[in-house]
Amino acid sequence: MIDKLEAIRQRFHEVADLIIQPDIVSDMKQYSKLMKEYKDLQKIDEAYKHYENILSNIETSKKILETEKDPEFREMAKLELDELYPQKEEAEDSIKSLLIPKDPNDSKDVILEIRAGAGGDEASIFAGDLYRMYQRFAEKKGWQFSLIDYMDGTAGGYKEIIVGISGEDVYGMMKYESGVHRVQRVPATETQGRIHTSVASVVVMPEVEELEVEINANDVRIDTFCSSGPGGQSVNTTYSAVRLTHIPTGLVVSCQDEKSQTKNKEKAFKVLRSRIYEIEMQKQIAEQSSQRKSMVGGGDRSDKIRTYNYPQGRVTDHRIGLTVYNLPVVMDGNIDEFIEQLRLADNAERLKEGAA
């Protein structure tokens, strides 16, 4: 492990020199890529420095025990070693976690799709609740949240809503939200006070660049139509909304949020690229599923991952068996505890795989 850490330190210093070079600073794409690498390597280098300090203190305490005759000094050295050895183990665990190969998509922005499932109007209302939950979560993280397309529910909420989220390590956190979310509560339309169960599906896809997914222009049919919903005078008067149909896969993407047809077209192509990329990702996951049974880090999108029980005020994540009794707080965007525990479980799995 020390050899690997030394190599990482050497690369860290190389990158530190590179990011101040004028030709790198003037190339925003290259500069951004190197800055990301610099931040990742800096975390490891700082952890390594902390580990080196602990090892140095252990050696000093050992020498005192070997050479010192004074019983008081020897006792102090023993007590210090008793504290240092657990710190050494903790530092090693921390470094091992940092050395786990990262998902290359973790630093990417995402396309988030929420769709109402079984449950009729209540499912659409719940989809709207999930949308607001993620919107609040994004606000707390300082991420940008932009609407791409939506279809209103007949009694509130959304039958479907698609948004883009951009910021630091968005996919690395949001990827654990993909799957089926289930709600148990008494709907506003229920006259006899019976608890209903409804579901909504969430799909989180990394936003990909044109170079990562090449789309042949001849494979896409582009239709324009009048936008609907909020938008002022341009609504139903200009053909600003765009619908893309990818002929090889049959994928259809619409965008009507912007007043500009060009901007809607750009957003629609972003979604289309991400969906094509997602199809390839799911193929890879299916191939690996026999080796990696747990779907903590993303898996079958039809898996029921979380239940929101309103009568009991609880939220349960079924992948890790975590239940919290603060449902209103969770619905206000405080999902950090779930994401942190899922990341820890995912890292533990990866460590086991590395050991195997």
**Could you tell me the CA-to-CA distances from 280 to 124, 273, 277, 298 in Å, in that order?**
29, 11, 5, 13
CATH number at 221-282: 3.30.160.20
Q: How far apart are CA 55 and CA 25, in angstroms?
A: 38
pLDDT for 290: 47
- Please report which confidence band the pLDDT of residue 211 belongs to, taking 50, 70 and 90 as the band edges: low
Q: What is the pLDDT of residues 85-97, one digit of tens each?
A: 999 999 998 888 7
Q: What is the DSSP letter of 68?
A: -
Fold of 110-211+293-353: Alpha-Beta Plaits (3.30.70)
Q: What is the pLDDT of residues 20-71, one digit of tens each?
A: 999 999 988 788 889 888 988 999 999 999 999 999 999 999 999 988 888 8
Q: How is the chain split into domains, by residue range?
A: 2-99, 110-211+293-353, 221-282
- Please report which confidence band the pLDDT of residue 286 belongs to, taking 50, 70 and 90 as the band edges: low
Predicted TM-score (pTM) of the model is 0.67
**Could you tell me the CA-to-CA distances from 239 to 177, 264, 310 in Å, in that order?**
35, 11, 43
